[in-house]
Structure 1
Amino acid sequence: MTAAQRKTSSKPKRRHARRRTGQKAEAPDASQNPSAKGPPRFGRWFYGTIGLLLVAAAAGGVWWYASDDSSAGQYVSDLTLDQIPFDGRRAFGYLEALCAIGPRPSGSPGMAKQQEYLIKHFEALGAKVERQEFYVPHPRERRRVKMTNLIVRWHPESKERLLFAAHYDTLPFPMLDPKNPRGTFVGANDNAGGVAILMELGNRIPDMQLDYGVDFVFFDGEEYIFSPYDKYFWGSEYFARQYRDGRRDYRYRAAVLLDMVSDKDLQLYYERNSVWWRDSRWISEDIWSTAARLQVREFIPRKKHEVRDDHLALHNIAGIPACDLIDFDYPPWHTQADVPANCSALSMAKVGWVLQEWMKALRFPPQAR
């Protein structure tokens, strides 16, 4: 199956616990709907789907559902790296450096090295970096695991703020790998790419004339799981509760989550929750309109996947209008093949440029709360 053919088809709607479809994933109040906060329980049909997927993958292919989208070719921009005023090559270098650390699951030596690398990078740019530490139970062992969200702030005196988010932990093992589901997982697209784009965006923020503050948050524990039954989203839920319950003199007017945005065959559709929430829809519409103005055709203003991701906690718990920027059509997802070779400096440049230009023109609407 060619890359173009992959983009004209769609995955089964569930592969394991992180991604969920259905009305409950869109619950406007997660505190009243536990299934919107943690992974769902699965019946036999789910494990049958996983089994069929892995059998097909082991036989040399990947199983997909058919899609009615037969026009994938029109969603490729003619832009080159040299035409885009966002350094995709440097961003890709950050991605490679993160992956060179090796696996970076929560509580691991690799995670500690990554934290040192990111703190050094952002402090050198003049940002204030805060470690938000907390503990969670290990899914399999009778011990606690220390987790750390990294919060990076520019213009901390500003009361109106924009939040960018990305998870920076890697899955402990590539559980969907057809050959070795206990092998090595470096998480290039999931999610070193999102982190690396924010690193490059951070290089540019000191020179941007903004009338609002900007924070980056790197979530720990997004997928610290060893089976589909384990809990996801530890870091984003902790961050959201601290924001909701804490005393503060600022507010986030919008949040943008970057997850799986660096693959070579980039296509970014509206994520369904992000445009279903009435207080959040404007974020997606503004970003995709910016992409259209820049002729970045990989931003496709149509709904496709509904995804359980960290933006649910930001919206449902913290009450922040939120948008999930994600290309979920990525065959190496949660396999050993999620490596830099399957990512693209050009894709990263396109995403970073769109966000950079969107920030420059951003005006928070009165109805955002």
Structure 2
Amino acid sequence: MSFLFNKFINNKLAILFAIIIGIYGCKSNTSSEQTAEQAPPALVKSADFNADSAYQFVQKQVDFGPRVPNTAQHRACGDYLVATLKKYGWQVVEQPFTATTYDGTKLNARNIIGSFNPQASKRILLTSHWDSRPFSDQDSLVKNKPVLAANDGASGVGVLLEIARVLSKEATKPDIGVDIIFFDAEDWGSSGSEDTGLEYSGFCLGSKHWAANKHNPNYTAYFGVLLDMVGAKDATFFKEGYSVQLANDTVRQVWATASRLGYSNYFIDETGGAITDDHVPVNKVARIPMIDIIHTHQNNMSKTFFDQWHTAHDTMEHIDPKTLKAVGQTLVQVLYQEAKDQPL
């Protein structure tokens, strides 16, 4: 009886073991199939973004001095931006306009639009503002001095100029259209102490004008990326709130690409605050899903942006080529991935 019982038990155990193995095998195969299906596409070979070249583009803008609208320095820098895009073979459109600031000042401004592969139907929009703030209202000593704006303005423009150079020089160019817009008159807004009653507190005048008066009335883009304050050492780019709300697919794409390139110490995988910036009118008026890559501090009520923001100390000594590289190489990779992975 004992033998028969043990044999019965052994047979039951053998059957149970076989069932468990079968179930585990099915689950393993299913899991492997799901993992394969969910795995991101391989990174395609992209062009190399040169951080030193981008740094020099930032330096060149700063060498003009503060690029405050209605000044000679502003006009000269604008001419330089136009000439540089043309030198790299980009089709350029200038969009002059008159803007009225929150304090009633009339600005002679211009948005500068450059187009790469202008015949392509699928287009990606990259933007930054190129003007300087006319006063250092966040400075503890010299509040009336115009901001040199190495980071808050020139860094984003420098990254985009390097992308323009890279795309023009590559033997194998991405089969996609790219547009760069340098928005003007972004930074002449209220410091917050005045109740202007104006949309965006008087900021974003150039992007607001372009969104309502696109250089090509039928222009559209698959998605857009705004760069703002992207050059400081050890910068942190949280997922900006409006970007997550209005263009979350693009947020995920850009942050995932940055992570795969090894830049997750810059592109933080957390949602930050919502910032009123040039991407807002592009989203809401032009109806183009655009995200904002912007340097912010998380959970710090006294310091939202980088330390030298809107002060006389926003100078070249605080610009780090490593940060420019992280942002620029991420965007170049996104462009090449988009050209390969998405239908035109």
Superposition TM-score, scaled by structure 2 size: 0.77
Tell me the CA shift for residue 268 of structure 1: 1.1
**Per-residue deviation, residues 98-123 of structure 1 (Å, max 9, x unmatched):** 11111111222111011111111111
Q: In the alignment, which residue of structure 2 is the partner of 1:209?
A: 173
Tell me the CA shift for residue 243 of structure 1: 2.9
CA contact (8 A) 2:101 2:202 kept: no
Q: In the alignment, which residue of structure 1 is the partner of 2:92?
A: 129
Q: In the alignment, which residue of structure 2 is the partner of 1:281?
A: 248
Q: How does 1:282-301 map to 2 (within 5 A)?
A: 282-297=249-264, 298-301=266-269
- Residue 272 to residue 140, structure 1, CA distance change in 2 (3 Å): closer
Tell me the CA shift for residue 301 of structure 1: 1.4
Q: In the alignment, which residue of structure 2 is the partner of 1:327?
A: 295
CA contact (8 A) 1:172 1:225 kept: no
Are 2:175 and 1:219 aligned? no
Q: In the alignment, which residue of structure 2 is the partner of 1:336?
A: 312
**Per-residue deviation, residues 119-166 of structure 1 (Å, max 9, x unmatched):** 11111100111110111235445x632110000011111222110010
Are 2:127 and 1:159 aligned? no
Q: How does 1:72-221 map to 2 (within 5 A)?
A: 85-140=48-103, 144-206=106-168, 207=170, 208-221=172-185
In the alignment, structure 1 segments of 5+ residues that lack a partner are: 1-83
Q: In 2, distance between residues paired with 1:291 and 1:140?
A: 40
Which AA in structure 2 matches 1:213?
A: G
Structure of larger gyration radius: 2
Are 2:282 and 1:314 aligned? yes
Are 2:214 and 1:243 aligned? yes
- Residue 289 to residue 227, structure 1, CA distance change in 2 (3 Å): closer
CA contact (8 A) 1:159 1:251 kept: no
Q: In the alignment, which residue of structure 2 is the partner of 1:266?
A: 235
Tell me the CA shift for residue 191 of structure 1: 1.1
SS in 2 for 1:355: helix
Q: How does 1:55-66 map to 2 (within 5 A)?
A: none
In the alignment, structure 2 segments of 5+ residues that lack a partner are: 1-46, 298-305
**Per-residue deviation, residues 275-315 of structure 1 (Å, max 9, x unmatched):** 122xx111111111111111112111111121110000010
Q: In 2, distance between residues paired with 1:211 and 1:238?
A: 30
SS in 1 for 2:329: helix
Which AA in structure 2 matches 1:251?
A: T
Q: In 2, distance between residues paired with 1:86 and 1:137?
A: 37
**Per-residue deviation, residues 73-108 of structure 1 (Å, max 9, x unmatched):** xxxxxxxxxxx9321111111111111111111222
**Per-residue deviation, residues 251-294 of structure 1 (Å, max 9, x unmatched):** 211010000111002111111111122xx111111111111111
Tell me the CA shift for residue 336 of structure 1: 0.7
Superposition TM-score, scaled by structure 1 size: 0.72
CA contact (8 A) 1:172 1:226 kept: no
Q: In the alignment, which residue of structure 2 is the partner of 1:40?
A: none
SS in 2 for 1:148: strand
SS in 2 for 1:104: coil
Q: In 2, distance between residues paired with 1:237 and 1:344?
A: 30
Q: In 2, distance between residues paired with 1:273 and 1:160?
A: 24
Which AA in structure 1 matches 2:330?
A: V
Q: In 2, distance between residues paired with 1:175 and 1:199?
A: 29
Which AA in structure 2 matches 1:356?
A: V
- Residue 306 to residue 227, structure 1, CA distance change in 2 (3 Å): closer
SS in 2 for 1:308: coil
Tell me the CA shift for residue 226 of structure 1: 6.0
- Identical amino acids, percent of aligned pairs: 27
SS in 2 for 1:181: coil
Q: In 2, distance between residues paired with 1:344 and 1:352?
A: 13
Which AA in structure 2 matches 1:101?
A: F
- Residue 88 to residue 317, structure 1, CA distance change in 2 (3 Å): same
Tell me the CA shift for residue 183 of structure 1: 1.9
Which AA in structure 2 matches 1:338?
A: D
**Per-residue deviation, residues 35-73 of structure 1 (Å, max 9, x unmatched):** xxxxxxxxxxxxxxxxxxxxxxxxxxxxxxxxxxxxxxx
**Per-residue deviation, residues 168-218 of structure 1 (Å, max 9, x unmatched):** 111001111001101241001101000000011111112253232110000
Q: In 1, distance between residues paired with 2:217 and 2:292?
A: 27
- Residue 225 to residue 251, structure 1, CA distance change in 2 (3 Å): closer
CA contact (8 A) 1:314 1:322 kept: yes
CA contact (8 A) 1:256 1:322 kept: yes
